[in-house]
């Protein structure tokens, strides 16, 4: 197998496929640790709010998910 080839391997998790390069491979416990359950959602906001979110995201160097999580956590911390 050349250095640029990719192989598809089966993970220990049901229904999961993984990709590995010529070195390494899937390892139990490797990768980013989960912080909770992932659910995909769609949010419709006015452009002015999207602009504010994007500006804050850039200023704080956060991903969109991190910023939204921070906003939601702050909301619930305020006992709403």
Indicate the domain borders of the chain. Answer: 7-25+36-77
Could you report the per-residue pLDDT of 65-77, keeping only the tens digit for each? 999 999 999 999 9
Per-residue pLDDT band for 33 (boundaries 50, 70, 90) equals confident
In the predicted structure, residue 23 carries a pLDDT above the cut 90: no
* pLDDT value of residue 53: 95
Exposure on the CB side of residue 19, measured as CA atoms within 13 A: 3
- Between the CA atoms of 12, 17, 21 and 27, what dihedral angle is there, to the nearest 10 degrees? -20
Could you report the per-residue pLDDT of 9-19, keeping only the tens digit for each? 566 666 666 66
* pLDDT value of residue 10: 60
In the predicted structure, residue 30 carries a pLDDT above the cut 80: no
């Amino acid at each position: 197998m050349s250095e640029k080839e990719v192989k598809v391997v089966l993970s220990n998790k049901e229904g999961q496929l993984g990709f590995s390069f010529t070195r390494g491979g899937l390892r139990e416990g490797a990768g980013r640790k989960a912080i909770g359950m992932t659910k995909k959602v769609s949010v419709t906001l006015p452009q002015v709010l999207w602009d504010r979110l994007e500006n804050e995201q850039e200023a704080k160097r956060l991903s969109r998910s991190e910023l939204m999580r921070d906003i939601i956590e702050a909301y619930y911390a305020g006992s709403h």
